[in-house]
Structures are given as structure tokens and as C-alpha cells.
């Protein structure tokens, strides 16, 4: 069951006796858990029927004892186990998973870890309740996630604006969602969000950002690249060197991969490089400006400056100087 399906069922008041929420991406785990905590019971019912337990302070037999109680003056009781990854022998919940109470909604937040789905315990949970694995959203998947998130709120976003947010905020979904929520408060429903909206409301410059730096380098536009990198040097907290280098490493690695593709159709390039189809043309254009030999050299340059930005072999150059020097070597 997907995150969207789980939330949809909860909104329809279709409940399961066990929700085992596991995986690396804590955002989805928190959203499901918080929705259940906030919406299943009324405020009057919560006093007797909603229990919060913490993994480091509890054991499986305590969870089972709580789960086997019946609700008081309510249809359900809710038990939420936070930080369940700290419970030793979580599989000792197996006896309860075999025969859970339908009047109990047991939510287990098992962050950063997963169960072996081949074993009996997770199979039982999957049969009797919901076994949800919250997988990490990677940087290249973030623009699509941003678009989907806004679509669920009845907004849309241009690919350029989605790329700006992705590059600036990274794959911290809680942070991204918070910024998007603040953004749409001031915009009419149905608005398509553009780079102008991002600049005015989130504070990301539509001209001086990593996405525009990539474009400038792809086009071998020395003047534009220098203007952007000088802006980065003057605003180091907003554009830290390691983040810039990581983004450029990903960008040039994709251009290098493009050269080796046999099928250079738009759909295949988008799929293999894991980019939005809208941006394929920029990678095609950049590949014409950088041959394989130069791209291998650039990857090596980026690795060198990544090490130097962390203090290895760099005795005097400032972060701004390092970035300017790096861009010069990429373009020459």
C-alpha cells in the first residue's frame, strides 16, 4: 500500500489494527502517524484511549498489554509507538500480530530500519494490517515529488521552479513541504508556480542559483557563470561549496553518461539520466559543448575541489576563491 492509499483510506475512516511504518524517509512515517493521532479520536476520547509509547522506554510485552485493552466510551483506542527501532526483539510482537484487536489501532514508527519481509512477523503484519516501507526520495526524484505534492493541493509548478527548489533545499521533505505550504498560502488555488514566485516568497534568486550555474556551464557562458559564482562567494551561507560541487558532479556525470547512450530518444534519456523530460534538451546541448575527454577531466577537477573545500591540500584559498578557480578550470 502506498502513502497516498494509506492517507486516502484514513480519510475515509477505513482503519487497520496495525500500522508498521518503517524505512529511511521519516517524512511519510511522521505524516501517517500524525494523521492517525490527530484524526481517529475526538479530543474527548483521546484522554482515555490514546497512548504514546517510546521505544527506548518500552518492551514488546508492554505494547501487547496496552494493545489488548478495550477502548472506553469510544469505538477505538490508538497506541503510537515512537522510535520503535530502539526496541530489542521487535519480532516479539508476533503473537499479537497473529490476532490483533480490531478496536485497537497500533501504530509502530520504525524509522531508519526495515524488517526482513521474508520472515513471519512482517508477513503477518501485511496480512492483518499495513506494512509500509518509506523509501528515501533522492535528489533526482525531488522535482517530481514537488510537482505531485502541489498537485494534491490543487497547484502546479513549472519545471524550472521545481528545479530551483530542489537544488536549494535538497531532499529534506519536511523542509521542502514546509516551504511549499508557506508559499501557497499567498497564492490563489490553481496557480502555476514560477521562478518569480520562488524568488519573491522563498528567497531563492531566480538568476543566481545552482540550477542557473549548471545552465551557464552547459552553454559555456563564461560571463554568466562568473557572475553566479561571484554571487555565491558573497553569499556563502546560502550557497555552501560542498553543495555546489555535489550538484555539479551530478550534472556533469549525467552529461558523460549521455555520451554513452545508444538510444538518445527524449524518453530514454530522461529515464536513464533520471531527469524531467523538459530538461533533456539542455543535456543534449551541453553534451555538444563537452566531449568525453573533457568531461572525465571535469569529474576529476570536481573531486579535487571537493577535497580542497574540506581542508585537504588547501592552505590559504577562501571558499570564494576555490569556486572561482574551479569554474575557470572547468571552462578552459
Average pLDDT over the chain, rounded to an integer:
91
Task: Write out the three cell numbers for 229.
Answer: 559564482
- Band (31; pLDDT cuts 50, 70, 90): very high
Question: Which positions ≥6 away from 138 have C-beta within 8 Å?
Answer: 171
Instruction: For the chain, give every domain's residue range.
Output: 3-133, 139-201, 210-331
From 243, 163, 248, select the one nearest 198 (Cα to Cα): 163
Question: 141 vs 329, which has greater pLDDT?
Answer: 329
Distance CA 3, CA 6 (A): 5
State the alpha helices, DSSP H only, in the chain.
3-11, 26-39, 43-49, 60-67, 94-98, 120-128, 142-152, 159-169, 173-185, 195-201, 210-218, 222-234, 241-259, 266-273, 280-289, 292-309, 319-331
Asked whether the CA dihedral 318, 320, 323, 327 is positive or negative, the reply is negative
Domain 139-201 has CATH 1.10.8.60: yes
Calculate mean pLDDT across residues 205-226.
Answer: 89
Q: What is the pLDDT of residue 71?
A: 95
Q: Is the pLDDT of residue 159 over 70?
A: yes
**pLDDT at position 320, please?**
86
Is domain 3-133 in CATH 3.40.50.720, yes or no? no
Instruction: Give the burial class of 189: count Cβ atoms within 10 A of its Cβ; 0-12 exposed, 13-18 middle, 19 or more buried.
Output: exposed
Mean pLDDT of 293-314: 88
pLDDT at 315 over 70: no
Helix axes 319-331, 241-259, angle to 10 degrees: 20
Least confident segment among 17-26, 27-36, 70-79, 236-245: 236-245
pLDDT of residue 91: 93
| Mean predicted confidence (pLDDT) in 14-43 | 96
Tens digit of each residue's pLDDT (9 = 90 or more) over 167-210:
777 778 988 999 899 889 888 999 999 988 988 887 777 788 88
Mention every residue, 6+ apart, whose C-beta is less than 8 A from residue 226: 324, 327
Question: What are the phi and psi torsion angles at 105 (to 5°)?
Answer: -110, 105
Q: Compute the average pLDDT of residues 28-41.
A: 96
pLDDT for the residue numbered 180: 92
> What's the maximum distance between 2 C-alpha atoms anywhere in the chain?
75
Q: Residue 251's closest CA among 299, 321, 309, 292?
A: 299
Which of 92, 93, 109, 95 lies closest to 19 in space, CA to CA?
109
Phi, psi (degrees; rounded to nearest 5) at 192: -90, 120
Q: Given a cut of 70, is residue 118 above it in pLDDT?
A: yes
Structure confidence by residue, pLDDT tens digits, 267-301: 899 889 888 888 899 999 999 999 999 999 999 99
Q: What pLDDT score does 170 carry?
A: 78
Instruction: Please tell me whether residue 74 adopts helix, strand or coil conformation.
Output: coil
The residue length of the chain stands at 332
Region 210-331: CATH code: 1.20.272.10
Mean pLDDT over 245-255 rounds to: 93
DSSP state of 265: -
- Is the pLDDT at 98 greater than 80? The verdict is yes
Beta bridge partners of 18: 106
User: Does residue 75 register a pLDDT over 70?
Assistant: yes
Cα torsion 87, 90, 93, 98: sign: positive
What is the rounded CA–CA span in Å between residue 181 and residue 27?
A: 15
Q: Which residues contact 85 (CB under 8 A, 6 or more apart)?
A: 55, 110, 111, 112, 113
Q: How far apart are CA 164 and CA 152, in angstroms?
A: 20
pTM over 0.75: no
For residue 151, pLDDT beyond 70: yes
pLDDT bin (cut points 50, 70, 90) of residue 314 is low
Amino acid at each position: 500500500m502506498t502513502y497516498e492509499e494509506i492517507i486516502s483510506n484514513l480519510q475515509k475512516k477505513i482503519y487497520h489494527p496495525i500500522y508498521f511504518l518503517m524505512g529511511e524517509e521519516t517524512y511519510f512515517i511522521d505524516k501517517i502517524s500524525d494523521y492517525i493521532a490527530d484524526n481517529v479520536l475526538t479530543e474527548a476520547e483521546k484522554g482515555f484511549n490514546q497512548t504514546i509509547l517510546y521505544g527506548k522506554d518500552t518492551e514488546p510485552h508492554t505494547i501487547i498489554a496496552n494493545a489488548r485493552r478495550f477502548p472506553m466510551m469510544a469505538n477505538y483506542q490508538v497506541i503510537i509507538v515512537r522510535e520503535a527501532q530502539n526496541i530489542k526483539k521487535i519480532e516479539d510482537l508476533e503473537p499479537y500480530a497473529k490476532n490483533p484487536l480490531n478496536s485497537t489501532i497500533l501504530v509502530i514508527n520504525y524509522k531508519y530500519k526495515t524488517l526482513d519481509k521474508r520472515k513471519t512477523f512482517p508477513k503477518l503484519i501485511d496480512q492483518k494490517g499495513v506494512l509500509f516501507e518509506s523509501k528515501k526520495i533522492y535528489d533526482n526524484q525531488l522535482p517530481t515529488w514537488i510537482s505531485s505534492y502541489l498537485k494534491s493541493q490543487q497547484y502546479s509548478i513549472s519545471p524550472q521552479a521545481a528545479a530551483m527548489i530542489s537544488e536549494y533545499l535538497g531532499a529534506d521533505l519536511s523542509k521542502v513541504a514546509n516551504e511549499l505550504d508557506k508559499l501557497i498560502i499567498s497564492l490563489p488555488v490553481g496557480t502555476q508556480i514560477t521562478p518569480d514566485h520562488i524568488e519573491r516568497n522563498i528567497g531563492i534568486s531566480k538568476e543566481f542559483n545552482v540550477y542557473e550555474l549548471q545552465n551557464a556551464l552547459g552553454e559555456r557562458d563564461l560571463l554568466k557563470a562568473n557572475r553566479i559564482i561571484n554571487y555565491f562567494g558573497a553569499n556563502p551561507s546560502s550557497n555552501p561549496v560542498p553543495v555546489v560541487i555535489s550538484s555539479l558532479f551530478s550534472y556533469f556525470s549525467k552529461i558523460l553518461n549521455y555520451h554513452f547512450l545508444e538510444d538518445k530518444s527524449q524518453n530514454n534519456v530522461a529515464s536513464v539520466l533520471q531527469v524531467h523530460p523538459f530538461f533533456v534538451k539542455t543535456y543534449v546541448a551541453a553534451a555538444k559543448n563537452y566531449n568525453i575527454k573533457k568531461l572525465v577531466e571535469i569529474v576529476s577537477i570536481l573531486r579535487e575541489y571537493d577535497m580542497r573545500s574540506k581542508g585537504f591540500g588547501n592552505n590559504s584559498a577562501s571558499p570564494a576563491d576555490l569556486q572561482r578557480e574551479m569554474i575557470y578550470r572547468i571552462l578552459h
